[in-house]
Amino acid sequence: MIKTDKHTHRSELSRGALLILDAAESLFAAKDFDAVSINEIASHAQTSKANIFHHFKSKEALYISVLKNACERSVSALNEVNSQLSDDPLKQLNQFFAGHLQAILSSPLSTRLIQRELLENGEQKGKLLAEEVFSDTFANVVRLVKQAQDKGMIRQGIDPSLLAFLMFGANVVFFESRSVLKHLPDVNFTESPEEYSSAIFDLLTHGFK
Amino acid sequence: MIKTDKHTHRSELSRGALLILDAAESLFAAKDFDAVSINEIASHAQTSKANIFHHFKSKEALYISVLKNACERSVSALNEVNSQLSDDPLKQLNQFFAGHLQAILSSPLSTRLIQRELLENGEQKGKLLAEEVFSDTFANVVRLVKQAQDKGMIRQGIDPSLLAFLMFGANVVFFESRSVLKHLPDVNFTESPEEYSSAIFDLLTHGFK
DNA sequence: GTCTATAGGCCGATAGAC
DNA sequence: GTCTATCGGCCTATAGAC
């Protein structure tokens, strides 16, 4: 766990602090840590700079609160996806894959925050992110793959973690690349995540051969 | 083209300027634009702050020089990969895929720079990046897929650009995720890009079924 | 809890000597 | 081309009134 002496969960924060947290989230999601000033957050939250330092002991502490919140929201969104699955392991996999992409796209702020954290601080905080954010969901998908494998619906030669990784990866890359994808000729799937999901899943299922 | 009144190609730069450029590249690759100060670049290049402003008209101009250089190096590395291919379209695809991952991993500085540029400025500069960096290489791979499709080696239902995208994406995500991947249990492919390449290509070829 | 005012530091960029 | 010295500005963070 990250250690912070102040409250970090939304439920423990006062109303004023929540406004600050939300303003900070949208700004930290849009721009790098250093590119966001406390003044800017203050004016977005319609309060004063000093008041931010009253609620959060430093700029970094505020950032960490924002990040933890985003991680929690992200994890719980994925748990929700995980809880609404059918019985057929293959269908489960398909549903999870589509749901994951939807979750990513419907909370672009959290996604961007985590993505940047991975890019800038991955080498230091990779372990933390692995354990607190990705581990459970990833393990669940790996388990799904293994179940399907046991029932003969996925061939034995497949490495479950590799398939799981590629499924997550396909979604993440879609999110990351949209801004450039839409300017490439002959790319038709940018505007339709559902089509993308089902086309990728079909490709992974049957291969291109 | 980005317009810059100063020289931006390495060959046009003096020795002093090159030292600055290299120092700047390693720092800009490691940290965000705002997190790198001219003072820091100066001390890494063993020169003075003022001298940097003598060679580059602003911090941003220096950053753009660094970025353009990285893009050019990245493009030419991929062209090299593209030029060493066999006749069989499918083998070509496989070779390109493996070569692309190798190229990414062997120039992590350029890769990180471009990745960050996409993350931070993708919405504005997505078109520029698409046209100047990704377009040609992407088109080449799409063409490879179509050739293989014409020869019946890839089934007709496959969208060539989708397959090409997933191949690039699989490599990019591998690069991005290594710092967290290596902390996930049951993931064995992190340390071996070659294994990863061939396993993914096999998965894409035959599917998991 | 919220404010104004300000401390103290580092920033990008410039002037001008050599 | 390279340097030292310096400017004006914005930054995080704090002091202290209300």
- B interface test, pick of A31, A144, A156, A165 with most B CB neighbours within 10 Å: A165
3-state secondary structure of B78: helix
Residue nearest to nucleotide C3 (CA to C1'): A48
Q: Give the tokens for residue B55.
A: 């060679």
- Which residue in chain A has the smallest CA separation from B126? A180
pLDDT digits (tens, 9 = 90+) for B132-162: 999 999 999 999 999 999 999 999 999 999 9
- Asked whether residue A59's C-beta has any atom of DNA/RNA strand C within 7 A, the reply is no
Q: Give the tokens for residue B2.
A: 């980005």
pLDDT, mean of residues A116-132: 94
pLDDT, mean of residues A55-73: 96
pLDDT higher than threshold 70 for residue B174:
yes
A69, A91, A145, A197 from A94: Cα distances, Å:
28, 5, 11, 8
Contacts of A138 in chain B (CB under 8 A): 184
Q: Which amino acid is at B82?
A: N
- A interface test, pick of B113, B180, B189 with most A CB neighbours within 10 Å: B180
Out of A56-70, A82-96, B47-61, pick the least confident. Answer: A82-96
Run of H or E residues at A49: helix A49-55
> b/e for B83-107, b at 16 or more Cβ within 10 A?
eebeeebbebbbbbbbbbbbbbeeb
How far, in Å, CA of B91 to CA of B153, rounded? 11
Tell if the CB–CB gap between A187 and B127 is shorter than 8 Å: no
pLDDT higher than threshold 80 for residue B6:
no
CB distance A71 to A15 below 8 Å = no
pLDDT higher than threshold 50 for residue A129:
yes
Handedness of CA A173, A175, A181, A183 (dihedral sign): negative
How far, in Å, CA of B66 to CA of B162, rounded? 31
How far, in Å, CA of A193 to CA of A183, rounded? 17
Instruction: State the pLDDT at residue B3.
Output: 34
**C-alpha of A34 from chain center:** 22
DSSP 8-state secondary structure symbol assigned to residue B37 = -
Q: Which amino acid is at A175?
A: F
pLDDT higher than threshold 80 for residue B183:
yes
Nucleotide at minimal C1' distance from the B15 CA = D1
CB distance A18 to A25 below 8 Å = no
pLDDT, mean of residues A112-132: 95
Tell if the CB–CB gap between A204 and B206 is shorter than 8 Å: no
SS3 percent helix, strand, coil of chain A, rounded to 5, is 75, 0, 25
pLDDT, mean of residues A132-148: 94
Q: What fold characterizes domain B10-206?
A: Tetracycline Repressor; domain 2 (1.10.357)
Nucleotide at minimal C1' distance from the B51 CA = D2
Q: Give the tokens for residue B201.
A: 């290509």
Residue length of chain A: 209
C-alpha angle A144-B162-A179 in degrees, rounded to nearest 5:
100
* Helix boundaries (H) for A107-190: 108-129, 135-150, 160-181
How far, in Å, CA of A10 to CA of A25, rounded? 12
Boundaries of every domain in chain A: 10-206
- Which residue in chain A has the smallest CA separation from B206? A207
* Cα-trace Rg, chain B: 20
Instruction: Say if residue A53 is exposed, middle or buried (CB neighbours under 10 Å; 0-12, 13-18, 19+).
Output: middle
